[in-house]
Structure 1
Amino acid sequence: MSLIKPFRGLRPAPGRAADVAAPPYDVLSTDEARVRASGKPWSFLHISKPEIDLPPGTDPYAPAVYAKAAANLRAMLDAGVLRRDAADCYYAYRLTMGGHVQTGLVAAASVAAYDCNRIKKHEFTRPDKEDDRVRQIEALNAQTGPVLLAYASDPVVDALLDQTHLGSPEADVTADDGIRHQIWVMRDPGLIAQITAAFDAMPALYIADGHHRSAAASRVAAARRSGGTAGDGSSDYFLAVIFPHREMRILDYNRVVTDLHGLKKSALAARLAAAFTVEEAAARVQPSRPGEFGMYLDGRWHKLTIRPELIPADPVARLDVSLLSDHLLGPILGITDLRRDKRIDFVGGIRGLEELERRVDSGEMAVAFALYPTSLDQLMAVADANEVMPPKSTWFEPKLADGLVSHVLD
C-alpha cells in the first residue's frame, strides 16, 4: 500500500472558490461561524459547522447536525457549486501570509501507515472529538477537513513539488484574514508516478495538526473493512496536505493564569529564582530563543531565563512548554493538569503580546507567560521518540482552508 496516492478531488467549480473557501471548522465557535457565513450560501461553513443552519442552542453533536451537513453538501453538488475531478490527481496548495510562503501537496495518505506509526503522531486524542469527526465523515461519505502533515525536507521531493505549481492556479482566494490560498491540479501521469514513488521512499511523515481527523479516518476505515463496506478502498486513505518541514511556521502558544495560587508577589519572585534568572524589562518581552520566557504581571514585563542545568536531554522534557510547566506552572502555581485545570487558558501567538496584556489588565487573569515557539525539528524529534507533547504546544500559521479540496469515499 502506497504511503500516499492521488485521488478524485471534490472542488469548487471554476469561479466558485471564493464563495466556498472557509476557515477550518475547529478555529471558530458556532456564533463566529454563523456571522462569517451570513449572506454566503455556498460557504463551506454550512458543511463544516452545519449547526449554524439550525435553531440557536442546537447541540452541535446532535444527529440533526450531521444530517444537515449531508443535506448542505448535496445542495452544493446539485447546484454545481462543487464538482469532482474525473480522474485521480494530486494538487499543489500554496499558502501566502505576508512574506511567508509555503507550498505543499494535497494527497490521500495511507491509514495503514498511520496505524503502524509510519505517519507519526505527537498528541493524545479525545474520544468525544474523534466521535464527532467519525460522525461527520460517515454523514458526508467524505473527508472534508485536511490533516496537516510534514515531511523532512528532501531535495528530490522538493524539486518534484516545484513542478506542481507551474502556470495559473485553478483556485486563487484571499481570505478575510489576508491569507492567500492557491490550488493547482496535477494531472500528468508521469509526474504523479514520480511523486508517489518519492514519498514511498520516505521513512515517515509527521502529523503537524489534525490528530483527531486522522484518528477518525482510521476508525472509519476499520469499521468499513470489518463490515464489508470498504468499497474501492478509498476509506483506507485520508485527506492530507503535506509540506516540507523547513517551510512550515509554528507560532508561540502562550499561557495566562487566573491567580497566583495564594502567593504574594514577593514570594512568587523568590520561588522563581530557584529555576530562572529574572530581569525586569522596559518593554514587552517576545522570547528570542529557547529557554527564555516573558512574564506579564501587575502591568510590568519580566524576562525569565531557565537555568541551563535544568534543561534535560529528553525531547519532551526540554520543550519550553514543558520547562514552564515543570518549573513554574506546576510547582509554583499548582497547575498540574493543562487539559482540565480551569485556572489556565492558552493564547495563540497570532493574537500578539497585546492580547496577554489585555487579559491581565482587565482583571480576568493575574499573570501571563510568553513562550518561544516549538520548532518542527522538536516536533519531529518527539514523534521519532514515540513520545507525546504537552497540550497546546504548537500553533500553526497560516492555516489551511476547508472546502478547496475534499476526499470522497466511494
Structure 2
Amino acid sequence: MAKIVPFKAVRPTRDKVCLVTCRSYEEYVNAELAAQLDFNPLSFLHILKPAYTNQETVSFEKRYRQVHQKYQEFKDEIILIKDNKPAIYIHKIVNKTHSFTGIIAGTSVTDYCNNIIKKHEDILAFRVQLLKDYMKYAEFNTEPVLMTYPDNKIIEDWIFNCCQKLADFEFSTTKKEIHYLWKIEDSLEINWLQNIFEKTEHLYIADGHHRTEALKLLAEENDELENTSKNHILSYLISENNVKIYEFNRLIKDLNGYSKSEFIKALKKNFSVENRFQQPFEPEEKHQFGMYLDNDFYSLVLKEDDMHFSTPLESLDTQILYKNVLLPILGIEDLRNDERIEYLSGKQAVIEVKNKIDQGEFAVGFLLFPSNIAEIKALADANQIMPPKSTYIEPKFRSGLVIYEL
C-alpha cells in the first residue's frame, strides 16, 4: 500500500515568495532567463544557474557543488528558511482555465521499486545519471514528481476544508497564475491522512519519471532504501480527475520522397481520408487525426478493420500514428532522436501547426486527440511504455516553492 511521509520543507519567507519561485529552468527562453538573472537577485534561478555572472566552463560536479553553495547562501541570507516541524502541504494553482489542488509529501522509493508507484514512460539512462549526480551534490530537490491517486471523496472533502483557512502563501505570477500553499503539521491529522493513503493500492507517475528513477539510484548508491530522506521522493499528489492532459502534435519536415498524391494514397490503406480544405479539423475522439498538408486540412479516421487491439499500447493514438504512418510511410523509426520530427504541445492553437508548415519549415503536421488518465493507468498496469511525447500534463510546479533536502 502507498506510503506518504511529512518532511521539514525549506521555503521562501512569506514576503519574498513571489520573487523567489520560478518556472522550471528549461521553460525560459534565453532573453527571459537573462532578464530574470539580471534584475531579480532573489530568483531561484540564481541557484539553478549559479555561474551566470562567471561564464567559465566547469565540470558537472563543480557546477552542481556551486548550486549547493548558492543554495546555502540563500539560506544564510534568510531568503529561504526551514520549517521547524515535519509537515505535509496543500498546494493550489489557479490559472485562466483550470484549478489544480494537490498534496505535497514524501513518497517511498521502496514503493517505486515494488511497483506500488507505477510508471508509463521510458527513461534515458544518461539523463537519469545527470539528475542523480545533480541531487547528490546539490543536496536538495525542488521539483516534485506529479503522481495521481484514485478519486477519493474523503480526501477531497479534507482538502476543501483545509483550503478554507488562511493560506501560508498566496501570490501571483507573471503568467497570471495564482498559487496558494497551506502547511499541515498536526501529527494526528498527518497520521489520519497516512492511513487513508495506506489503503490506496497504487500511485501513478504522471510527470517526473526521470527524477523518480534518479532518486532510486541515489538511494541505492547510499544503501538507504529502508529509511532516511534519501528513500523518499518529493511528490505532488493529485486526484485523477484533477489533472489536465494535452496531446503533443507531430510536425514532419518532408514526405520521405512521396509526392502529395502518393502520400495520400498510402494513408488511405488504413484511414478514411477527407479533404477539409481551409476548415481546420481537430480530432473529437480517439482514432481520429487531423492533418495539414499543402495549405489544406484533412481528417483521418482509422478504418474499422484496423481497430483490433490486443494491448493498451496498440490502442493508443500516438502508437497508431507511428505504426501506420510515421514508420512505414515517412520512415521515422526513432521518435526521440530523428531530426525530421518535432512536437508541438496541444496547449498551442492549431494555427501554430499551420503557420510552421506554411513557412516551409515542415511539410506535414498531424493533430491528435489527447490521451486520458485511464489510458495512462492501463499502460502502467500492463507494464507498457508510451511512445515519446505522448502527453503534456498539467499542473506544472514552480521551483523554489517547497524544497526537500536530501
Alignment of 1:367-406 (within 5 A): 367-406=364-403
Normalising by structure 1, what TM-score? 0.93
Q: CA deviation at 1:352?
A: 1.9
Alignment of 1:13-92 (within 5 A): 13-28=13-28, 33-55=33-55, 58=57, 62-92=60-90
Letter in 2 for 1:407: Y
**Aligned residue in 1 for 2:256:** 261
Q: CA deviation at 1:283?
A: 2.0
**Aligned residue in 1 for 2:149:** 151
CA contact (8 A) 2:2 2:200 kept: no
Q: Does 1:320 align with 2:317?
A: yes
Write out per-residue CA displacement over residues 148-182 of structure 1, whole angstroms, 9 at most, x where no aligned residue: 11111122222233233231221223222222222
Q: Does 1:344 align with 2:341?
A: yes
Q: CA deviation at 1:306?
A: 1.2
Residues paired across the two proteins, number: 404
Write out per-residue CA displacement over residues 185-239 of structure 1, whole angstroms, 9 at most, x where no aligned residue: 112222211111111111110000101111111111111127xxx8971111010
CA contact (8 A) 2:287 2:302 kept: yes
Letter in 2 for 1:55: Q
Alignment of 1:6-405 (within 5 A): 6-28=6-28, 33-55=33-55, 58=57, 62-225=60-223, 233-281=228-276, 282-311=278-307, 312-405=309-402
CA contact (8 A) 2:2 2:117 kept: no
CA contact (8 A) 1:97 1:180 kept: yes
Cα distance in structure 2, aligned partners of 1:218 and 1:235: 8
Alpha-carbon RMSD: 2.0
Flag the 1:235–1:119 CA change in 2: closer, same or farther, 3 A.
Answer: same
CA contact (8 A) 1:50 1:66 kept: no
Cα distance in structure 1, aligned partners of 2:274 and 2:85: 61
Letter in 2 for 1:83: I
Q: CA deviation at 1:51?
A: 4.9
Q: What's the secondary structure of 1:203's corresponding residue? A: coil
Q: CA deviation at 1:300?
A: 1.5
Q: CA deviation at 1:394?
A: 0.7
Write out per-residue CA displacement over residues 83-121 of structure 1, whole angstroms, 9 at most, x where no aligned residue: 111001110011112131111000001000011111001
Cα distance in structure 2, aligned partners of 1:324 and 1:195: 42
Write out per-residue CA displacement over residues 45-80 of structure 1, whole angstroms, 9 at most, x where no aligned residue: 222344544417x47x63332122112101110111
Q: CA deviation at 1:140?
A: 2.0
Cα distance in structure 2, aligned partners of 1:220 and 1:77: 24
Write out per-residue CA displacement over residues 120-162 of structure 1, whole angstroms, 9 at most, x where no aligned residue: 0111211221122112211221112111111111222222332
CA contact (8 A) 2:100 2:395 kept: no
Letter in 2 for 1:236: N
Could you tell me which runs of 5 or more consecutive residues in structure 1 were left unpaired when the two chains were aligned.
none
Query: After the TM superposition, which of the residue ranges 294-303 and 254-263 deviates more from structure 2?
Result: 294-303
Identity of aligned residues (%): 30
Q: CA deviation at 1:2?
A: 6.2
CA contact (8 A) 2:93 2:177 kept: yes
Cα distance in structure 1, aligned partners of 2:32 and 2:319: 32
Flag the 1:155–1:62 CA change in 2: closer, same or farther, 3 A.
Answer: same
Letter in 1 for 2:403: S
Flag the 1:142–1:158 CA change in 2: closer, same or farther, 3 A.
Answer: same
Cα distance in structure 2, aligned partners of 1:203 and 1:2: 6
Q: CA deviation at 1:32?
A: 5.0
Write out per-residue CA displacement over residues 248-268 of structure 1, whole angstroms, 9 at most, x where no aligned residue: 001121110010000000001
